[in-house]
Structure 1
Amino acid sequence: MSSRISIARPASGGYQPPPYQPDPHGFGNSRPSSGYRAANPDDPVEKFRVVAQQVEDNVEIYTQPLKPHLPAIGRFLIVVTFLEDSLRIITQWSDQLWYLQKHRHFPWGISHLFLLMNVITMIVGSGAVITKKHSEYAVGGLLGVVIIQAFGYGLIFDLNFFLRNLSVIGGLLMVFSDSMYTRKKLFAGLPSLSENDRKKYFLLAGRVLLIFLFIGFMIRGEWSIARLFVSIIGLAACVMVAVGFKAKWSAAFLVLMLSIFNVFINNFWSVHSQHPQRDFLKYDFFQTLSIVGGLILLVNMGPGGLSVDEKKKTY
């Protein structure tokens, strides 16, 4: 028996080949192609996209010399507020004890232990973050300091303090994300998140928390036209950081804006050393530096997997 397949002949005789089908299995796109349409250069959205791309390219170009040093700079700035705070406690030891015992009603020994534990944790934790030694434990210790001080000094219900410390926590989470390494499962048989999964969630949390400093800036102080203008631009950049849209560009912009704001608004060096406002300005100055450090780490690492920028690469 022949293995060939015979082709039917029409009744009129003569061989007629079957009609040509360019896509016999139907894998092609059945919809008619509309053709390539060039972007309209006069479209405002297209203009913004081009400008944003140019700015992002310039940020990438001009930060290249600093690129190898950005992680170290960011880490140092993040913990500088803890170093300043530990130095302030040491140099104002008696005043700190008086406040805790008189106004916070700490017992004599507990007040000493409270201050001593804070100083040791801040110095050791800051050194570990800067040197990248056991950063995960250092971040945990510094997070504990933020929480304990909020309750110990009775500032948990101070909105400005609360928002600022949320941003500091965001900076610490950026350090944690930068320091993450692959760990084996703690318990056999139990599911665990991979390093990349953990990192992208911590990056998302860090990005969102970092912007609370600017929200605190917006809700305090007297309003003016200049303040309104700066607030609108800054809020737009904060939203871009939070959702991870042009995150490197917006984070670099906030670094520049907060640095200028910090020098001109929190200029504690221009206030007399005996003036009570000096300590508040110094505290705000170094906390803002910590948040700038978190944004610098964001510029270096990028926004991570849970971001608009990353989704644009996928789709």
Structure 2
Amino acid sequence: MSARISIARPASGGYTPDPHGFANSRPSAGYRAANPDDPLEKLRNLARTVEDNIDIYTQPLKPHLPAIGRFLIVSTFLEDSWRIVTQWSDQLWYLQRHRHFPWGLSHMFLMLNVITMLVGSAGVIGKKYSELAVGGLLGVVIVQAFGYGLIFDLNFFLRNLSVIGGLFMVFSDSMFTRKKIFAGLPSLSENDRKKYFLLAGRVLLIFLFIGFMIRGSWTIARVFVSIIGLAACIMVAIGFKAKWSASFLVVTLSIFNVFINNWWSVNTKHPQRDFLKYDFFQTLSIVGGLILLVNMGPGGLSVDEKKKTY
């Protein structure tokens, strides 16, 4: 029912505060104040408090987060290049004996991997030619998967998807505007490319945790951590409270990495040491990607961003 409009004429000719009768003394039926005792409202307040505390306590680190994240992302490549150099004869033996590489090709394969990983890692850390550096490191991930015959190893596959997600986060962080090469051809703007790479990076980063869930023996503690971690992974993937959930995964994966992949406590001649060391540095790489997500935010294709427009 529409409001009645009337013109009030004061008898004395003085000032009338509401000459058109727009004032309405009745309470509005369309808005209700939030109930502080509502469990959902309490959960929202808790989430806001956690986010505020994260912003407060990470403020001194904020200027350094991109550098820390980039270094951690390439740590697995630096460790892998060091492993190849220090285990050169063992690597050659494996490629020639089990992968049937010809003598010269095995040497070239290892040399190209080491050079690409060192140069690409330096480019990522120094923010020099980041697109080429990320492309080179992505090439290493793909070539090694086929070269070492690990493409069908599920755990290796999931972990490397997460490493690729970390590299996508680096690419998003380094995104810059490029001039059109050919006038008239359709092209994505910097912001469009950045939000798509951020979405891909967010989704791929969570595969490490999925790999953790499907391997090993199950205990009550493992089930509890897996449920909470899976919820945080879903939140990261869809971009809901992304900074909070990514921060939670950074802490969880860091603790898990130190206590489970403690390669330094294993004898240097034990074969398990290399496997633990490999897992340790790959997990560090994914933690670096999550740190970049905390620093940059989830991007345009996320629930957090959509909520700002409604």
Could you state the TM-score of these two structures normalised by the residue count of structure 2?
Answer: 0.91
Q: Secondary structure at the match of 2:182?
A: coil
Deviation of the 1:35 alpha carbon: 4.4
Matching residue's letter, 1:140: G
User: In 2, distance between residues paired with 1:90 and 1:127?
Assistant: 17
User: In 1, distance between residues paired with 2:268 and 2:38?
Assistant: 55
Larger Rg: 1
The answer to whether the aligner puts 1:155 opposite 2:131 as a matched pair is: no
Matching residue's letter, 2:187: S
Q: Secondary structure at the match of 1:186?
A: coil
The two structures, once aligned, show a CA RMSD in angstroms of: 1.3
- Counterpart pick for 1:80 among 66, 75, 99: 75
Q: Which residue of 2 aligns with 1:68?
A: 63
Q: Secondary structure at the match of 2:72?
A: helix
Deviation of the 1:186 alpha carbon: 2.1
The answer to whether the aligner puts 1:279 opposite 2:274 as a matched pair is: yes
User: In 2, distance between residues paired with 1:63 and 1:252?
Assistant: 10
User: In 1, distance between residues paired with 2:39 and 2:158?
Assistant: 35
Deviation of the 1:201 alpha carbon: 0.3
- Counterpart pick for 2:98 among 98, 103, 110: 103
The share of aligned pairs that are identical, in percent, is 85
The answer to whether the aligner puts 1:145 opposite 2:137 as a matched pair is: no
**For each residue in 1:254-306, what CA deviation from the matched residue of structure 2 results, as whole angstroms up to 9, or x when unmatched?**
00000000000000011100000000000000000000000000000000000
User: In 2, distance between residues paired with 1:285 and 1:258?
Assistant: 10
Whether the aligned pair in 2 keeps the contact of 1:268 and 1:282 (CA below 8 Å) is yes
**For each residue in 1:200-244, what CA deviation from the matched residue of structure 2 results, as whole angstroms up to 9, or x when unmatched?**
000000000000000000000000100000000000000000000
Whether the aligned pair in 2 keeps the contact of 1:185 and 1:191 (CA below 8 Å) is no
Q: Secondary structure at the match of 1:314?
A: coil
How many equivalent pairs are there?
A: 288
Q: Secondary structure at the match of 2:218?
A: coil
Q: Which residue of 2 aligns with 1:204?
A: 199
User: In 2, distance between residues paired with 1:133 and 1:215?
Assistant: 33
Q: How does 1:21-170 map to 2 (within 5 A)?
A: 33-170=28-165
Deviation of the 1:46 alpha carbon: 1.3
Q: Which residue of 1 aligns with 2:181?
A: 186
User: In 1, distance between residues paired with 2:287 and 2:66?
Assistant: 12
Deviation of the 1:192 alpha carbon: 0.6
Could you list the runs of 5+ residues in structure 2 that have no partner in the other structure? 8-26
User: In 2, distance between residues paired with 1:288 and 1:267?
Assistant: 12
Deviation of the 1:195 alpha carbon: 0.3
Matching residue's letter, 1:162: F
Matching residue's letter, 2:254: S
Deviation of the 1:82 alpha carbon: 0.1
Matching residue's letter, 2:295: N
User: In 1, distance between residues paired with 2:265 and 2:39?
Assistant: 44
- Counterpart pick for 1:232 among 227, 233, 237: 227
User: In 1, distance between residues paired with 2:219 and 2:129?
Assistant: 46
Deviation of the 1:33 alpha carbon: 4.3
Matching residue's letter, 1:179: S
